[in-house]
Amino acid sequence: MKGLINKLKVPATSTLVLHYADSVHDTGLEREYLDQLDFNNIDELVKSIAESCKNLDKIILFRKLYVRNFFKRIYADEAYPQVVSLGAGWDPTSLHLIKQYPMLIQDIFEVDLASMVEKSILYKNIMPECNSLHFIECDLMDHEKLIKALTLSGYRSIVPTVIVFEGVIHYITDEVFRSILRQFKTADKRNVFIMDFTLSEESVPLRGLEEHQRCLQIVGKYVEGKFNTHMRSEITALIEEAGGEIISIESMRDIEYKIHHKNEIFLEDGEGIEEMLAFRL
């Protein structure tokens, strides 16, 4: 068991995302966590993707930066004592939040279909006294079971909450998305969602269409079932139908410009496979 904890093998796609977002993991806690994972199984995948989808590393990096920058933005002005990460996977964002906002966040709930027990062990290795992290294994498509599991773990629906919904909507239907939104909807819009979505081909400019198609083909090899895409107007319509209020929506072009004050990679909206958005609900 000791060897398992020291260097844990996780799916290649998960380690790939962590590898591409490495520069974002800027706290000591995150580095300690990542040191417990085995990154030796991704060389072939990295090479394959570099040949077919050369900007995927930038897309993942910009996605992670958007999420963290949005947390910084909202915690500068408002109080959100709870964070719920749906489809949390192996991402260490919770460690970043604990380090950066220790007085503002009371509880963080990480939810995924599997691996939460193993992840909780890794976290306990570096934070044995931490009681604010809660790990839940649950199928997100069973929304009633999801809320029950959250409640049993200490989640309180009356408390303003940030829901991280990163890397999830690609794998679920619009109806499941609607059901999840209904579970977190509030009369005073006290909850905030942060999420990404994959653009449909109709949204992509001609200069970026070939790479867009190649990237989706690669991702499709690792996805069981349909990989869902949306136009920006479609995703905003789903959110507004649920009573949501858009706070921010940014293309990869927007994010690149905010970070580097110029655009060298993504020159048009619709390039970069994905867009990011946040909304009140």
pLDDT digits (tens, 9 = 90+) for 45-62: 788 787 778 899 999 999
Are 5 and 33 spatial neighbours (Cβ–Cβ below 8 Å)?
Answer: no
pLDDT for residue 1:
37
Residue among 8, 24, 13 at smallest CA distance from 46? 13
How many beta carbons lie within 10 A of that of residue 187, not counting itself?
6
Tell me, letter by letter, the H, E, C secondary structure of the chain.
CHHHHHCEECCHHHHHHHHHCHHHCCCHHHHHHHCCEECCCCHHHHHHHHHHCCCHHHHHHHHHHHHHHHHHHHHCCCCCCEEEEECCCCCCHHHHHHHHCCCCCCEEEEEECCCHHHHHHHHHHHCCCCCCEEEEECCCCCHHHHHHHHHHCCCCCCCCEEEEECCCHHHCCHHHHHHHHHHHCCCCCCCEEEEEEEECHHHCCHHHHHHHHHHHHHHHCCCCCCCCCECHHHHHHHHHHCCCEEEEEEEHHHHHHHHHCCCCCCCCCCCCCEEEEEEEC
pLDDT for residue 6:
63
Residue 148 pLDDT greater than 70, yes or no: yes
Across the range 219-227, mean pLDDT stands at: 71
pLDDT for residue 3:
42
pLDDT tens digit string along 164-200?
Answer: 999 999 989 999 999 999 999 999 999 999 999 999 9
Number of domains forming the structure of the chain:
1
Domain encompassing residue 107: 2-280
Residue 126 pLDDT greater than 90, yes or no: yes
Rounded to the nearest 10 degrees, how much is the dihedral formed by the CA atoms of 174, 177, 179, 185? -130
- Phi and psi, residue 278, nearest 5°: -140, 145
pLDDT for residue 221:
73
Which tops the pLDDT comparison, 137 or 46?
137
Band of the pLDDT at 4, cuts 50, 70, 90?
very low
Residue 78 pLDDT greater than 80, yes or no: yes
Residues, the chain: 281
pLDDT for residue 16:
85
Residue 223 pLDDT greater than 70, yes or no: no
CATH number of the domain bearing residue 245: 3.40.50.150
Residue 117 pLDDT greater than 90, yes or no: yes
